[in-house]
Chain A
């Protein structure tokens, strides 16, 4: 080979710095470095270079859209995206239809406060999802049409941003076998879900469920259920504003 002994020492010195040598070879290189000031100087410079590279040139992150672009190209769906509420609603509907009568009964809303539980479950599931909403918009002219065609009746959507309850979007929850619209508003960091449940106007709601405050009111044969961790007074204010504000102001 054309390598001089010196060349070999230098290569082994690099391998030593990189932690690539077994203990026996590492000791031999350490002895060579200790005995050769030139090699020791080179080691110092290589280590200075490696430190500079590690500190100042970390691997560049790919642009945020690259993974999505690759997934599209290859046709692999995003794994991280959880099922949307619409997909989940559909799958629950399928499950209900395919399941036994026992399951059916479990999922059927029983008389009493089961609507409150279902509304609460919808709110909690939405809070656990990356986004508590399917359609994210503060514009009621976007949110209301989004519901049309997905459920029998689009909900009444009012703009309460001037009163400090901005609309952030909407989603579809499933109560019993029915897809129902939920509007999502915000008060500071608190999320408020307003779920419109037909034919539930006669039900007496609890004041709170699992530490969440619940408000119910009825209008035009539809029961509106507002759920939030917001304090009861402000939730009552929200409910009053929602009732009293015309949808087309």
Chain B
């Protein structure tokens, strides 16, 4: 009977979040077909682990498995893609541009904002794809999939403070890329 119970739980816990699972997998792998393979493998893992789900946030639980599956899938099948970014945040701080923290009157309404507002889907997508993996997943989970900080912290297995700094940096990079592009 526990096999049937697992199936029922899987149907309630994992399947409602298949859309989110696929969206995250697609952003991490960058390919639709890869995302399907990742989701399938992640669902199998989730099913085997469903007994361990303690009844918390089902979406965060499911996406955590999808994320881990996506990275292990990438390192197995697309080893060139995965870049270690352990020191990313420190590097980012060291190279923070003076203008980022400068003061001035010209910041409020400027052509940069206009360019960002007018970026089309392809430009947005390309800019997100160019982000380092940890920045990208944080931004996608927040600004496309709508998770809150605690959920993102759970899925990406880092403290909330790290989520905050990754999100701010990811957004700043997109603003830099989109706000300075050629018209």
Contacts and interface: CB of A to CB of B under 8 A. Distances in A.
Interface string A58-79: 1111110011011101111101
B142 A44 contact: no
Nearest to A9: B101
B19 A56 contact: no
A149 B149 CA distance: 59
A67 B23 CA distance: 14
B158 interface: no
Contacts of A40: 107-108
A4 B101 contact: yes
Given A18-B142, A45-B116, A73 B43 contact: yes
B117 interface: yes
Contact of A49 (B10, B105, B109, B178): B178
User: Which of A7, A10, A49, A52 gathers the greatest number of chain B CB atoms within 10 Å?
Assistant: A49
Interface in A111-150: none
A107 interface: no
A53 interface: yes
A207 interface: no
A37 interface: yes
B175 A45 contact: yes
A195 B45 CA distance: 48
A164 B36 CA distance: 44
Interface residues of B, number: 56
Contacts, number: 137
A20 interface: yes
Nearest to A41: B107
Interface stretch (B68-76, B77-85, B120-128): B120-128
A74 B117 contact: no
B107 A42 contact: yes
Contact of B32 (A20, A63, A77): A63
B125 A57 contact: yes
A69 B125 contact: no
Interface of A: 2, 4, 6-7, 10-11, 14-15, 18, 20, 36-38, 40-42, 44-46, 48-54, 56-63, 66-67, 69-71, 73-77, 79
Given A38-B107, A45-B116, A58-B144, 9 more contacts: A11-B165, A18-B142, A38-B101, A44-B109, A45-B113, A49-B178, A56-B120, A62-B18, A71-B15
Ranked nearest first, the 10 interchain pairs of A and B with the lowest CB-CB distance are A41-B107, A62-B22, A59-B23, A56-B121, A48-B117, A48-B116, A74-B47, A70-B43, A76-B7, A11-B164
